[in-house]
Amino acid sequence: MVCVSKRLRLTVLAAFSLLAFVDQEASANPRAWQAAGAGAVAILPVPDKAYGIVGASLACAEQNWTLVLRTGRDWRRGLRTGGATPVAETGTAQLGIGRTTFAMPASHQGGTIALALPYEAIAPLQAATTLALEVGGAAGPASAKFSLTGSKRVLDALLPACSPRRMEGYDLVAFAPVGEAVAAAREALKDDIAAFKLATASEPRLQASRVFLDSKRSLLFTQLCGSSWYFGRSGCNVSAFASDGTTPLTRLVYENEGSTTYLDRTATSDGWPAITSVPLKGKPELTTFRWNDERYGVEPSLLAQE
């Protein structure tokens, strides 16, 4: 019996949720990628040299990318699936994107074959000119070749539109542009704000959030955003200032490039919770910071690889 991973099960569900929607999409240019009307979904052009595949879409949800291949009917039996949902058949897929190749599980169910695309495939999809794929095992056989014309433009729009990964058991640090925390952040970052204004002749965007850990200790999280030339790829910088109740919130204990920030209160050091960050741009890898006497330092992610 083939063991279907949680990731692949989610991929299959995503495939079925997209099937009805994608069937209704009509591309203005059948040779170019198109953005769908809603969500982080791209519609691929009509495939070339296809066997068993009549169309495809690429969608992102919770930072997981799903390539959905539409078969339209069970080409192996000559029977239309209609509204039936037969048991999923699992196999393997080989993708060739330019000179880069990827191997991954494939799941055929109903009128789709779903592939859990690795994040590392996104950059080649933006840069290459063709995508060739073959599906084998119980999910196949099927094959197709797709043009990548327009893929960079569409994927550039999809990347920031993809929903963040689910972080159960973690507390999100929710930044806000107004409030007492922002006033405290402006004082703590006054030198940084002045340096940014001097370098760019513009005002950075400031947001903040104060997290109370107990009756005395608290962390002031700040987010400064502006020029990517100044702050790096994300265009933002995240910092945290600590107070033990006897000192002002001006002691810098954490600094990172722009990221979504979480606290793990189940993993503490001397009462200070671990901080886990996910980059605002680039591969959504988790980085964990633990308290080390005076400040936070990087450690490997506390989450096991899925």
- Tens-digit pLDDT profile for residues 227-267: 888 988 888 999 999 998 888 888 999 999 988 999 999 99
Tell me: do 219 and 252 sit in the same domain: yes
Domain limit, last residue, from 114, 131, 161: 161
For residue 7, name the pLDDT band (cuts at 50, 70, 90).
Answer: low
Domain limit, last residue, from 142, 161, 180: 161
Cα–Cα distance, 89 to 56 (Å, whole number): 18
pLDDT tens-place string over residues 199-209:
999 999 999 99
Residues 6+ apart with CB under 8 A from 66: 11, 14, 15, 18, 58, 59, 60, 114, 115, 116, 117
pLDDT tens-place string over residues 55-67:
999 999 988 999 9
Do 222 and 185 form a contact (C-beta atoms < 8 A)? yes
Do 198 and 188 form a contact (C-beta atoms < 8 A)? no
Tell me: do 146 and 39 sit in the same domain: yes
Tell me: do 180 and 214 sit in the same domain: yes
Domain limit, last residue, from 161, 194, 211: 161
Which DSSP symbol is given to 187? H
Predicted confidence at residue 86, as pLDDT, reads 61
Tell me: do 10 and 52 sit in the same domain: yes
Give domain status of residue 306, yes or no.
Answer: no
Give domain status of residue 115, yes or no.
Answer: yes
Tell me: do 245 and 115 sit in the same domain: no
- Give the pLDDT mean for 111-122: 92
Q: Is residue 21 over pLDDT 50? A: no
Q: Is residue 11 over pLDDT 60? A: no
Give domain status of residue 305, yes or no.
Answer: no
For residue 165, name the pLDDT band (cuts at 50, 70, 90).
Answer: confident
Quickly count: other Cβ atoms within 10 Å of residue 53's Cβ: 22
pTM > 0.75:
no
Q: Is residue 81 over pLDDT 70? A: no
Give domain status of residue 106, yes or no.
Answer: yes
The CATH number for 69's domain is 2.60.40
Tell me: do 20 and 115 sit in the same domain: yes
Show the domain range for 260.
171-299
Predicted confidence at residue 56, as pLDDT, reads 94
Give domain status of residue 1, yes or no.
Answer: no
Count of structural domains, the chain: 2
Average pLDDT, the chain: 84
Give domain status of residue 304, yes or no.
Answer: no
Do 128 and 101 form a contact (C-beta atoms < 8 A)? no
Q: Is residue 83 over pLDDT 50? A: no
- Paired tokens of 223: 């987010």
Question: Inter-axis angle of helices 180-188 and 190-200, to 10 degrees?
Answer: 70
For residue 8, name the pLDDT band (cuts at 50, 70, 90).
Answer: low
Give domain status of residue 22, yes or no.
Answer: yes
Give domain status of residue 190, yes or no.
Answer: yes
* Region of poorest pLDDT, from 20-24, 116-120, 271-275: 20-24
Tell me: do 242 and 98 sit in the same domain: no
- Paired tokens of 99: 């000179």
